[in-house]
Amino acid sequence: MKPIQVGLLGIGTVGSGTFEVLKRNQEEIQRRAGRGIEVTMVADLDVARAKSIVGANVQVVDDARQVIANPDIDIVIELIGGYGIAKQLVLEAIEAGKHVVTANKALLAVHGTEIFAAAHQKGVMVAFEAAVAGGIPIIKALREGLTANRIQWLAGIINGTTNFILSEMRDKGLAFGDVLKQAQALGYAEADPTFDIEGVDAAHKATIMSAIAFGVPVQFDKAYVEGITKLESQDIKYAEQLGYRIKLLGISKRTAAGIELRVHPCLVPAKRLIANVEGAMNAVMVQADAVGTTLYYGKGAGSEPTASAVIADLVDITRLHTADPLNRVPHLAFQPDAMSNLPILPMAQVVTSYYLRLRVADQAGVLAKVTGILASADISIDAVLQREAGEGESHTDLIILTHDCVEAQMNQAIAEMQQLSTVLAPITRIRKEELN
* Tens digit of each residue's pLDDT (9 = 90 or more) over 26-44: 999 999 999 999 999 999 9
pLDDT above 90 for 251: yes
pLDDT (mean) for 168-192: 90
Query: What integer pLDDT is reported at residue 322 of this predicted model?
Result: 74
Query: What integer pLDDT is reported at residue 293 of this predicted model?
Result: 97
CATH 3.40.50.720 domain position(s) in the chain = 4-137+303-338
Identify the three-state secondary structure at position 371: helix
Give the least confident one: 139-153, 309-323, 347-361: 309-323
Query: What integer pLDDT is reported at residue 387 of this predicted model?
Result: 80
User: Where does the pLDDT of residue 23 fall: very low under 50, low under 70, confident under 90, or very high at 90 and above?
Assistant: very high
Query: What integer pLDDT is reported at residue 129 of this predicted model?
Result: 96
pLDDT (mean) for 408-428: 96
| Residue pair 79/11 in contact by the 8 Å Cβ criterion | yes
DSSP H or E stretch at residue 138: helix 138-140
Nearest Cα to Cα of residue 108 among 81, 143, 71, 75:
81
Residue range 349-432, CATH number: 3.30.70.260
Give the least confident one: 85-89, 286-290, 318-322, 374-378: 318-322
DSSP H or E stretch at residue 146: none
How does DSSP assign 62-127, residue by residue?
A: S-HHHHHH-TT--EEEE---SSSHHHHHHHHHHHTT-EEEE--HHHHHHHHHHHHHHHHHHT--EE
User: Where does the pLDDT of residue 369 fall: very low under 50, low under 70, confident under 90, or very high at 90 and above?
Assistant: very high
> What are the C-alpha distances in Å from 10 to residues 3, 13, 52, 83, 86?
21, 9, 14, 15, 10
Q: What are phi and psi of 160, to 5 degrees?
A: -65, -30
Q: What are phi and psi of 386, to 5 degrees?
A: -125, 125
Q: Architecture of 147-299 per CATH? A: 2-Layer Sandwich (3.30)
User: Where does the pLDDT of residue 151 fall: very low under 50, low under 70, confident under 90, or very high at 90 and above?
Assistant: very high
pLDDT above 90 for 436: no
The sign of the torsion formed by the CA atoms of 281, 286, 287, 291 equals: negative
Query: What integer pLDDT is reported at residue 83 of this predicted model?
Result: 87
User: Where does the pLDDT of residue 389 fall: very low under 50, low under 70, confident under 90, or very high at 90 and above?
Assistant: confident
**Residue 323: which residues within 8 A CB-CB, separation 6 or more?**
none
Say how far residue 255 (Cα) sits from the centre of its chain. Answer: 21
**Annotated active-site residue in 140, 205, 247, 432:** 205
pLDDT above 90 for 299: yes
Identify the three-state secondary structure at position 219: coil
CATH 3.30.70.260 domain position(s) in the chain = 349-432
Query: What integer pLDDT is reported at residue 305 of this predicted model?
Result: 93
If you classify domain 4-137+303-338 with CATH, what class do you get? alpha beta
Nearest Cα to Cα of residue 265 among 382, 166, 404, 188:
166
CATH 3.30.360.10 domain position(s) in the chain = 147-299
172 among known catalytic residues = no
pTM (2 decimals)? 0.95
pLDDT (mean) for 102-112: 96
